[in-house]
Structure 1
Amino acid sequence: MIIHHVHHSVNCKINRGAWTIYSTGRLGNQMGQYATLYSLAKLNGHKPCILPEMYDALVPLFNITLPVIQEAIALEIPWKIYNLHDWMSPRYYNIRGKYVLLHGYPCSWTFYHHIRNEIHREFTFHDHIKQRVNNYLCKLKGERKKVTFVGIHVRRGDYVNLMPNLWKGVLADKAYLEKAMSYFRTKYKGCLFVVASNGMGWCKKNIDASKGDVHFLDNGNEKLPWKDFSILAHCNHTIMTIGTFGYWVAYLAGGETIYLSNFTLSESKFLNLFREESAFLPEWKGIAANLSALISSNHS
């Protein structure tokens, strides 16, 4: 079923001011930017509007409510550009400007967790998506009486080279996934692990499916992330690796979340952009990455 969405017209009274955020990156980034704009505009008493690119990225999935500012109008506005880093700072409570264009890749609960009910409402899936996902999970459940669905997102793709070479970091390995899965198998009855990845070949080699409790989603298309995302976000619990896609899956799913912690060397430039305590909710559980291969290649 194809749904043609029409941009809803801007409800912002532009002459009274407008705040927006530069729209860039894939689904997880766009969600982080949207939630941050929503929260910061509210904290500073301004009207948020989104650019058409952000609307196009999010509306196929979610019942978002922020009005769209048309491109022709946006181009005429004398925006004040305001750069954000990845976590909330006291100075963001007092951003001045009638027309503010926020910039950055914020993806941190520290911006908006105080209004999490509103953020969850903005990221409510369309009914037809909920129905399709529930039918899908129902089929997976089959004859089993009780199933605990655990979504696993394994970020591979460009990070396979970027993490070790640019960021002095590692990706989730086989041992990490085994530990995380074993945590859920021990704690919950009838676990069924649903795996999504942009490196499914690696997952099928490294995730042991011999117990019959692992299901691989064969749809790692980065241009069409909605199917994987909506299925994982409907699971009871989450195992994430790295990246904003997995973060948002976990944030929307609720339940318990296990994440890969300390995945870079202490001298990594990634740590200028990223703080673990701002990236993962305090109640989520971290399993430390194995950095031994990186450390030995650094010393060789």
Structure 2
Amino acid sequence: MTTRKFWIFALVVVIFIGNMSYFYFNKIKVSTLMEFIQRSDQENSSETQAATVHPLTGMWTVGPSGRLGNLMGQYATLYALAKLNGHQAYITQNMHNQLSKIFKIKLPVINDEAVSRIKWRNYWLHDWMSPDYYIIQGEYVRFTGYPCSFTFYDHIRNEILEEFTFLDYVKEESYAYLDKVRGDQKNVTFVGIHVRRGDYVHVMPNTWKGVIADKGYLDKATDYFRKKYENPLFIVTSNGMAWCKENMNNSRGDIHFAGDGQEGSPGRDFALLAHCNHTIMTIGTFGVWAGYLVGGETIYLDKYVLPDSPFLKVFKYEATFLPEWIGIPADLSPLLGKKDGQ
């Protein structure tokens, strides 16, 4: 009798353990299945979110005007504002013809006939980013003006730098020139110098109550790099090369006057500056863009117009020159009827 009870008890225990094992095993399978379902739902949700990203719409462009530096500023501003507002940027055939001579630009080109047929909303931009530009209405917008400020596009700087990637042959020409200048010298630091003269010689004092770079400024700027670096070599480009040769201190033989000093080859001059390590600029968007692309130390001419200059209504120093750049104040004494240094 006792033996029979024992076997009955043992059978009950075995059945109980078997049932618990079944439930436990199935609980694991159900849990695993639920985790798989939840994980799949999350993945599908992520894919759905990615699929619902709104594509860029409309056609936004910019009316190209000015020279190389202006065109670069207009291109970068169009790129940034169109992206910010969710619209597709296009450039005109004329802008493409100019910039594609030296850069691997990527924005699509709008046909000239399409430009003439589209009913554009013309939208004027001043030189720097404004809160109004965060929301611009219109599917077909054409910007006008001369925007050239990092405040438009510096938040996507890597994208802008990629847009202004030089063509391979342009890079090769620049490096070949710099290698020739270097010769057998070691530890060379190249400093690109752009001296803007040309029409600015008359426009700045007569229209804007301002000055352009003089000998004193260039001496201070070059001395900065001579003191800081062991073996600097200066590469000068200018549309007033004769003036540069007469006024720049080349007693050490470390200044090389590049190009022909004419405005007919701005792309070649710009590429040389952009492949240096640092930049000395005077005034103008050409020099600003050289410093921006190089990314090293940049010295610029600061406070080069009088406080009551009308130029300050369309220009801001703080919106043009990056905070880390080094400004050397201009000598305004010629505008005040004084001699240099007084």
Instruction: Provide the C-alpha distance between the structure 2 equivalents of 1:156 and 1:38, rounded to a whole number of angstroms.
Output: 30
Unaligned runs of 5+ in 2: 1-55
Runs of 4+ in 1 over 3 A off after TM superposition: none
In the TM superposition, residue 86 of structure 1 has moved relative to its aligned partner by 0.2
Instruction: Provide the C-alpha distance between the structure 2 equivalents of 1:22 and 1:221, rounded to a whole number of angstroms.
Output: 26
In the TM superposition, residue 221 of structure 1 has moved relative to its aligned partner by 2.3
Alignment counterpart, residue 118 of structure 1, candidates 140, 143, 159: 159
In the TM superposition, residue 90 of structure 1 has moved relative to its aligned partner by 0.6
Alignment counterpart, residue 247 of structure 1, candidates 281, 288, 292: 288
Instruction: Provide the C-alpha distance between the structure 2 equivalents of 1:144 and 1:257, rounded to a whole number of angstroms.
Output: 24
Q: Give the 5 Å matches for 1:103-252.
A: 103-252=144-293
Greater displacement, 237-246 / 288-297: 288-297
Does the Cα contact within 8 Å between 2:90 and 2:109 map onto a contact in 1? yes
Q: Secondary structure at the match of 1:160?
A: helix
Matched, 1:102 2:143: yes
Does the Cα contact within 8 Å between 2:57 and 2:86 map onto a contact in 1? no
Q: Give the 5 Å matches for 1:18-167.
A: 18-167=59-208
Does the Cα contact within 8 Å between 1:219 and 1:228 map onto a contact in 2? no
Structure number with higher relative contact order (C-alpha < 8 Å, ≥ 6 residues apart): 1
In the TM superposition, residue 135 of structure 1 has moved relative to its aligned partner by 1.3
In the TM superposition, residue 222 of structure 1 has moved relative to its aligned partner by 1.3
The CA RMSD measured in Å over matched residues stands at 1.1
Give the residue type in structure 2 aligned to 1:29.
N
Mark the structure with the bigger radius of gyration.
2
What is the percentage of aligned positions where both structures have the same residue? Answer: 60
- Return the TM-score normalized by structure 1: 0.93
For residue 270 of structure 1, what is the aligned residue in structure 2? 311
Count residues in correspondence: 283
Alignment counterpart, residue 333 of structure 2, candidates 286, 292, 300: 292
In the TM superposition, residue 16 of structure 1 has moved relative to its aligned partner by 4.8
Instruction: Provide the C-alpha distance between the structure 1 equivalents of 2:299 and 2:185, rounded to a whole number of angstroms.
Output: 25
Q: Which has the higher helix share?
A: 2
Q: Secondary structure at the match of 2:89?
A: coil
Instruction: Provide the C-alpha distance between the structure 2 equivalents of 1:101 and 1:224, rounded to a whole number of angstroms.
Output: 29
Does the Cα contact within 8 Å between 1:198 and 1:220 map onto a contact in 2? yes
Does the Cα contact within 8 Å between 2:57 and 2:87 map onto a contact in 1? no
Instruction: Provide the C-alpha distance between the structure 2 equivalents of 1:116 and 1:189, rounded to a whole number of angstroms.
Output: 30
Instruction: Provide the C-alpha distance between the structure 2 equivalents of 1:70 and 1:16, rounded to a whole number of angstroms.
Output: 17
Give the residue type in structure 2 aligned to 1:249.
A
Unaligned runs of 5+ in 1: 1-14
Measured against aligned partners, the alpha-carbon deviations of 1:188-232 in whole angstroms (never above 9, x if no partner) come to: 110000001000111001101110100001322213211111001
Instruction: Provide the C-alpha distance between the structure 2 equivalents of 1:77 and 1:22, rounded to a whole number of angstroms.
Output: 14
Q: Secondary structure at the match of 1:117?
A: helix
For residue 5 of structure 1, what is the aligned residue in structure 2? none
